[in-house]
Amino acid sequence: MPNQVPLVSYLVLGDDPHLIAHECTNCKARFFDRRNGCAKCFGTEFKDVSLPKEGKVRAFSVVHSAAPGIKVPFVASVIECGTTRVSANIINVDPKPENVKLGMKVKLATYVLGKDEAGTEAIGFGFEPA
Amino acid sequence: MASENLYILGIHMTKFGKYPNRDLIDLAAEAAQGAFKDGGVTMGDMNILAAGNLRGTGRIGQPLQKQIGQTGIPVYNVTNACATGATAMRVVMMAIKAGEADMGLAVGSEKLAGVGLLTGANVKADGKTWTPEGRYDAVSATDGRIGTETMPGVFAQIGMEYGSRYGEVSFETFAKISEKNHYHSTLNPLAAYQKRMSLEEIMKDVMVAYPNTRPMCSANSDGAAATVIVSEKKLRTLSKAQQDRAVKIAASILTTDPWEDGCQVLANVNTCTREAAKQAYAQAGVGPKDLHLIELHDCFATAELVHYDNLMLCDEGAAVEHFNSGATWREGRQPVNVSGGLESKGHPIAATGIANVWEIATHLRGEAGPRQIEGAKIGMTHVIGLGNTCAIHILQK
Ligand SMILES: [Zn+2]
């Protein structure tokens, strides 16, 4: 199996790919990116927590116009994973509005985004109908 | 706020559209000189200049002075996304309130015609070796792979999210909002587009980001707007004609979005707008029902809907009902975007937050011609700068 790297560090690969968030140890606010402090309570300590792999669609758009290299149309969405909202594409679905519903149950899925010169695969993620 | 009232003394906007042969400064100069003429003053009367521009050099104040009057006054170049123009106005107001000036010019100028889709900042290209970069340790571009950072897609989701909270909103409802604004634009000679469009035409047009088709997106265009703001004390020393046309700035508020879960994945333009509206109503001593007309930030048709609710023009959760009642059409109980809104008037970013003040002031002065909202005495302007900022002005005559 080729080496793999995740598209972003909050995607954890391995036998059970899942998303993590950096949770403020004081107020439990969650962030996906590196933070200098908590935007909610200004605390500076975080710990990593795993997010549920299932969620439901809170918002979506079928995007027909995007940066070069991005295949259109695609479904951009906000997924509610437990109490945490995640940005992701809805994948493995024909990208038409009638195929996506607000509140629809979805689950995390990963895919190979591409290979670099060394043959290492970058792994992306999306959510697919559950 | 116990300090003295501030007034719009003069205000002007260029026609929005395409100006291939005129630069940012030409447009800013036309707006500034127009505002001086409108207010019966000159550059020599200004004690401060705040100049806004987002996507050009961002520093147009001093070059502008070279064209309209180089008097040595302080210049503040400001950028604040789509709230840039409104922010320039607030810089002038804060200087007057601080006692550093009694009259000043705020100007916003932008060249956007022909600019394509405004995407997010993350446009990292694939390299030869995957290398984690940035705050997400991304090895490749994330825009389009982890949701969208394009404005039409972001604001589409903002509209859809409203549906998640209060019940699904149909594509047709969003398109009807656009139908209203394009209808309104037919009476505004300064709008970039003045074409009435049927609901069917709007829905069948090119899909940009469902549910926003092309005519449901703000029109990229060139343009500038400028205003002369004056203290009440100074205004009382001016002629009766000048005093008679001055429009009181009953409220001027700027907020940003407080942290809320989800704001990191979808811009939250709701919290900052609702808070700004609350503060503005309190400052002006009026309520939502007292407003005779509103120019709100319809950067996309999906955005207009959520702001009916955020500005408390309707009960919470009742934006669709409010729109369907016909209230926001120019013949309705409380017209919204009689200028045609950003969808047809155009959205030269830095000019927008002053141009909407021009629209309201023109109605309050009774000078809006065929599109005049009769008897308008109180109006509101609202802009959103993604990132996020909300600026609201309430004007009163
Ligand atoms: Zn915290």
Domain residue ranges in chain A? 4-129
A130 Cα to chain B: minimum distance (Å): 18
Instruction: Give the A:B interface size as CB pairs under 8 Å.
Output: 162
Note the CATH number of domain B6-115+221-248: 3.40.47.10
Please give the pLDDT value at position A67: 86
Please give the pLDDT value at position B119: 54
Residues B273 and B312 sit within 8 Å (Cβ to Cβ): no
Q: Provide the CA B292 distance to its chain's centre, in angstroms.
A: 18
CA of A31 to the centre of ligand 1 (A): 10
**Helix and strand element counts for chain B (H, E):** 13, 11
Please give the pLDDT value at position B200: 98
Of B132, B142, B210, the CB nearest to A61: B210
* Residue range B332-359, pLDDT digits in tens: 999 999 999 999 999 999 999 999 999 9
Q: Which residues of A fall within a CB distance of 8 Å from B169?
A: none
The yes/no answer to whether this complex scores an ipTM above 0.95 is yes
Residues A5 and A120 sit within 8 Å (Cβ to Cβ): yes
CB contact under 8 A, A65 and B142: no
Q: From residue B27, how far is each of A21, B83, B226, B371 by CA, in Å?
A: 47, 19, 10, 25
CA of A45 to the centre of ligand 1 (A): 8
Q: Which residues of B fall within a CB distance of 8 Å from A78?
A: 147, 157, 161, 262, 265-266
The total of other beta-carbon atoms located within 10 Å of residue A1's CB is 4
Does the structure show a pLDDT above 60 at A51?
Answer: yes
The total of other beta-carbon atoms located within 10 Å of residue A85's CB is 21
A74 and chain B in contact, CB less than 8 A: yes
The closest alpha carbon to B202, from B211, B187, B220, B214, belongs to: B214
B357 Cα to chain A: minimum distance (Å): 32
Please give the pLDDT value at position A69: 85
Please say whether the dihedral angle defined by the alpha carbons of residues B84, B89, B94 and B100, taken in this order, is positive or negative.
positive
Of A7, A78, A116, the CB nearest to B157: A78
Interface of A with B in 6-45 (CB under 8 A): 6-10, 29-35, 39-40
A82 and chain B in contact, CB less than 8 A: no
pTM here is 0.96
The closest alpha carbon to B124, from B111, B142, B98, belongs to: B142
Of A76, A103, A120, the CB nearest to B147: A76
B153 phi, psi to nearest 5 deg? -70, -40
Interatomic CA distance for residues B360 and B97, integer angstroms: 23
CA of B169 to the centre of ligand 1 (A): 34
* Residue range B64-90, pLDDT digits in tens: 999 999 999 999 999 999 999 999 999
Does the structure show a pLDDT above 60 at B122?
Answer: no
- Matching CATH topology for B6-115+221-248 and B151-218+250-396? yes
Q: Which residues of B fall within a CB distance of 8 Å from A65?
A: 117, 150, 152, 208-209
A68 pLDDT band, cuts 50/70/90, is confident
B142 Cα to chain A: minimum distance (Å): 8
Interatomic CA distance for residues B339 and B101, integer angstroms: 32
The total of other beta-carbon atoms located within 10 Å of residue B119's CB is 18
Matching residue, tokens 């003429």: B37
Q: Tell me what the mean pLDDT of segment B289-312 comes to.
A: 98
A1 pLDDT band, cuts 50/70/90, is confident
Please give the pLDDT value at position B115: 78
Cis amide prior to B388 (ω within 30 degrees)? yes
Containing B381, the helix (H) or strand (E) segment is strand B378-385
Interatomic CA distance for residues B327 and B333, integer angstroms: 5
CB contact under 8 A, A9 and B153: no
The closest alpha carbon to B16, from B298, B168, B220, B306, belongs to: B220
Please give the pLDDT value at position B1: 43
Interatomic CA distance for residues B215 and B138, integer angstroms: 34
Of A5, A30, A31, the CB nearest to B130: A5
Q: Tell me what the mean pLDDT of segment B127-131 comes to.
A: 86
Q: Tell me what the mean pLDDT of segment B192-218 comes to.
A: 97
Does the structure show a pLDDT above 70 at B385?
Answer: yes
A55 Cα to chain B: minimum distance (Å): 14
CB contact under 8 A, A39 and B259: yes
B206 phi, psi to nearest 5 deg? -60, 125
B128 pLDDT band, cuts 50/70/90, is confident
CB contact under 8 A, A76 and B168: no
B233 Cα to chain A: minimum distance (Å): 42
For the B151-218+250-396 domain, the top CATH level (class) is alpha beta
Q: Which residues of A fall within a CB distance of 8 Å from B266?
A: 59, 78, 85, 87
The total of other beta-carbon atoms located within 10 Å of residue A35's CB is 16
The closest alpha carbon to A105, from A53, A65, A44, belongs to: A53
